[in-house]
Structure 1
Amino acid sequence: MRTRTRNNSARKAVDRLNATMSALSDRVLGRDDLIRQIKFALITKNHVLMEGPPGVAKSMLANLLFRAIRGHKHYFDIKCTKKMSEDYLVGAPDMRKFRQEGRLWHLTDKTLVTSDFAFIDEFMDLTPGALRALLELLNERTFTRGRQKEKSPLWTALAATNFSGENEEALEAVIDRFLFRCKVEPLSSIADRMRMIKASVGQDEEMGPIPVLNKADIVTLNKQVSKVYVTDLVMETYLAVCDKIGSLTDRTIANAIRVVQANAMLEGRYCTSVKDLNALDCVFRVPGDSASSSRFAKAFSVYKGALDREKRISNVFMIYRRISDLVLMIQDCEDYKEAYAIAHEAREAEQAIHALSTSDTEHLKTEGCKSCCSILEKADTLYNRDKD
């Protein structure tokens, strides 16, 4: 009964998540890839980096999203500048404590340190000290200054930068903290631009408020993601894809597999399939970046072979289950003619399992053949009994 309640709760949470994401897509045009990344970031507890010029709805998307999420302590929203110190992120020093005790202590209430969600605009303009504090919070979810050490409830942050070639080297140094990355360009689709203009002149259809998404829903789905079993074949194929992409850190490899689990969970499964690896495109293929798309396509050359292997394993497993059913059927059988019909089907199943079996299913083939032998022996026993 408890399991059914938990599953129903997860299904309702998925429905609310999908409703919120769909409403965002209707309001922020041409950003479906980015919104899909945000969806996975929320349920895997990761962060998203948006690169693009001003005026492409980065801030609008972040504010619409986080204001639709309820049941959390604080949402932190800041636009960074080149002269901004870390105090703007982690709070000003407590001067009273400094005068009385001679130690530095930051007042972190209602800062990034104590926030569940955050939008950090133009974060690459931060000073080196502030950037280090930000990266510590994004990665470790802790704030440490001398004796002061606080755990942060930070769940998901969206960060934006007005990306240009001159800060490429600096960006690469911090990019590993963001599992998801998207290059946001001005709208190019005629249909999207028409809808944008209609909205601007008041000729679009009226839309209701964005459906509310509770943080409790996000936490529920995150817990469900952790329960999804990753098969050996999926793990092996995933690592092969990572090797072909190359230049991935251990942190990225360890985090990205959660997206595979999340895709299975969103489809109502608690065991991964090779097809769930398709979800990795939102991690390894940067929307708006043709080079990453090409690299991802080449890396997925291992995908088709793994999909074929999975189909063979699935077929062998189905045959094995049928053999198990035949074993149960012949146990209650007392008529040798009926037993021989069961034995005939068992022989066909044995031939099929031999033809399809691979090294992945050797144990199923062995057990299946043993079961088939026991079926044939029972059929012969019944035949000899009735003959006598």
Structure 2
Amino acid sequence: MLRMISELSGKVDEAVAVTVSKNNEAARQIAFASDSELRKRVVASVQKLSKGLLERDVEVRLLLLAALCSEHLLLLGPPGTAKSELSRRLSSLCGGNYFERLLTRFSVPEELFGPLSMKGLENDLYVRQTDGYLPTAEVAFVDEIFKANSAILNALLTLLNERLFDNGNQRLEAPLLCLVGASNEMPESEELDALYDRFLIRRTVSQVSNTQLYKLARLAAGRADHTLTGVAVASGNGNGNGSNGHGAEQVPHEVLRMDDFRHTAGSAYGAVDVPDSVIDLLTSLRNHLQDKCEPPMYVSDRRFMKSVQMLQVAAHADGRDMVTEYDCLLLEHVFGNRPDDGSKVRAQVLDIIAADPGLQQAELVLLGLFGRTCRLLDGGAAGPAELAAAGAEVGQLVALLEARHAALASNLEGDGFPELRASLWQAESSVAAAVQALSPQMTENRKKVEDLLREAHTLAAVLATPGATAPLLERLLPKRFKQYAKGISAKV
């Protein structure tokens, strides 16, 4: 028995070492690079919009994503933080009609939707001259949007959601692509909740940090440093690394066109799949936010559905045909009702990604197979067919664990988290924070997978050994045998 234990242990250690080495080496070679023309145009657009702006890379990405989804962006923060500048740059990029207005509590509908037509009134028609106003704009910026009164609110809600404007007795289609709303404060009145919900993506904008004030002063003085030419965008394996690995890639001349903004969302819905793992994450996240958070974060069905579609657009623009769990980090800008809710959403997404419930299921399967093997070997009455059937099931478990180990190795080896780093929509600071949060738990998970893999290989080796007995299995896996014996005792 001692000789048999030595031989089987050596075979198992060798098999596990081969799997670990192969997966780790393969993980170091992984590079997520896309040659999608749409992705190249998005990269060029991000860098063009961010040129000369400090600490606005997240806002630039969110603005482009909102426009590609034909949704609206809300920017919360103090004045003088480049909120209106971003919307002007988007209008310049896509070449659409631009409208901008500052609302006050005394604003009237004419300021947004155009003055009443004098000729129309002469003919008993209550119509507006909308040319040059919000109903004919493709990109708009409305500052202090929560100052909108009830006279403005009803028309604004229909315009934002349905892209329709009631002008007299006619309902006209509005070409609005994206409206950027800005405010210094959250809405206080309940009648503004519907307007607040119309903004799928929300972002709190802060002042330039103290560490960047030197660059801001140089920029104001017309002394633009080379670091202000644009935001570095991942073009291959690694966020923030260009094709040469030393900074932003060479910006292509072609940027996003109006056709891209109009048709990307429709193309994404048909081309991008949402796997079950992402759907499970989304449902778990919504249930947690509404049932377990204090105070609860209400997520409407409409917002939930639109968030799924937004993730499809993000993946499609990134040159992928499938949404990943890391795309769900964008939901910190979608779910939640208060500015500080975003951090709670992000933390929960990271917890769900790192939790890996499949490991617990794999251990339960291993326990079941261990008990079956013990029963087959006890007394030596099991036939070859039964042993072969059990060995086949153990082989399936080994394959599953090897695949799980390969997935974890792809995140932990080399630069680490290549899918996350290659995403267009995650800023370098966001990636660094996510990696720091995920690495400890995933490292522990990989160790658990290797331990389970060793035990599964041991089961397979024992089942394939002629004359193997239950005491042999007890000597090889004493911990599992104690669990098995405890379970038998409990049943008795």
Contact 1:76–1:119, Cα closer than 8 Å, also in 2: yes
Other structure's SS at 1:241 match = helix
- Structure 2 length normalisation: TM-score? 0.56
Alpha-carbon distance change, 150 to 307 in structure 1, aligned in 2, over 3 angstroms: farther
Alpha-carbon distance change, 305 to 282 in structure 1, aligned in 2, over 3 angstroms: same
Contact 2:87–2:139, Cα closer than 8 Å, also in 1: no
What residue is the counterpart of 1:82 in the other structure? 105
Gaps spanning 5+ residues in structure 1: where?
Answer: 1-9, 313-346, 359-388
Which residue, out of 53, 61, 83, partners 1:36?
61
Q: Is the aligned partner of 1:271 residue 2:322?
A: yes
Q: Is the aligned partner of 1:294 residue 2:344?
A: yes
What residue is the counterpart of 2:375 in the other structure? none
Other structure's SS at 1:256 match = helix
Displacement of 1:67 in angstroms is 1.4
Residue correspondence of structure 1 range 1-388 to structure 2 within 5 A: 11-70=36-95, 72=96, 74-100=97-123, 102-145=124-167, 147-163=169-185, 167=188, 171-190=192-211, 192-205=212-225, 212-227=255-270, 228-246=272-290, 247-284=298-335, 289-298=339-348, 300-305=350-355, 308=358, 351-354=394-397
Contact 1:13–1:218, Cα closer than 8 Å, also in 2: no
Displacement of 1:356 in angstroms is 5.8
Distance in 1 between the 2:284 and 2:195 partners? Answer: 25
Gaps spanning 5+ residues in structure 2: where?
Answer: 1-34, 231-250, 291-297, 363-389, 402-492
Displacement of 1:185 in angstroms is 1.9
Contact 1:33–1:282, Cα closer than 8 Å, also in 2: no
Displacement of 1:355 in angstroms is 5.2
Other structure's SS at 1:213 match = coil
Other structure's SS at 2:116 match = coil
Identity across matched positions, percent: 27
Displacement of 1:187 in angstroms is 1.4
Alpha-carbon distance change, 272 to 353 in structure 1, aligned in 2, over 3 angstroms: farther
Contact 1:264–1:270, Cα closer than 8 Å, also in 2: yes
Displacement of 1:52 in angstroms is 1.5
Alpha-carbon distance change, 237 to 295 in structure 1, aligned in 2, over 3 angstroms: closer
Counterpart residue identity of residue 216, structure 1:
D
What residue is the counterpart of 2:443 in the other structure? none
Contact 1:80–1:125, Cα closer than 8 Å, also in 2: yes
What residue is the counterpart of 1:344 in the other structure? none
Contact 2:331–2:345, Cα closer than 8 Å, also in 1: no
Counterpart residue identity of residue 233, structure 1:
S
Displacement of 1:142 in angstroms is 0.7
> 1:319-351, CA deviations, whole angstroms, 9 ceiling, x for partnerless residues?
xxxxxxxxxxxxxxxxxxxxxxxxxxxx98875
Distance in 1 between the 2:394 and 2:157 partners? Answer: 58
Alpha-carbon distance change, 262 to 349 in structure 1, aligned in 2, over 3 angstroms: farther
Contact 1:52–1:162, Cα closer than 8 Å, also in 2: yes
Distance in 2 between the 1:83 and 1:305 partners? Answer: 52
Displacement of 1:43 in angstroms is 1.4
Aligned residues: 310
Contact 2:332–2:342, Cα closer than 8 Å, also in 1: no
Contact 1:142–1:150, Cα closer than 8 Å, also in 2: yes
> 1:258-277, CA deviations, whole angstroms, 9 ceiling, x for partnerless residues?
22212322332212233332
Distance in 1 between the 2:92 and 2:71 partners? Answer: 18
Distance in 2 between the 1:96 and 1:113 partners? Answer: 20
Q: After alignment, is 192-201 or 270-279 more displaced?
A: 270-279
What residue is the counterpart of 1:361 in the other structure? none
Counterpart residue identity of residue 221, structure 2:
V
Contact 1:86–1:131, Cα closer than 8 Å, also in 2: no
Counterpart residue identity of residue 260, structure 2:
D
Other structure's SS at 1:14 match = helix
Higher relative contact order (CA 8 A, sep 6+): 2
Contact 2:144–2:184, Cα closer than 8 Å, also in 1: yes
Distance in 1 between the 2:210 and 2:174 partners? Answer: 40
Displacement of 1:65 in angstroms is 2.4
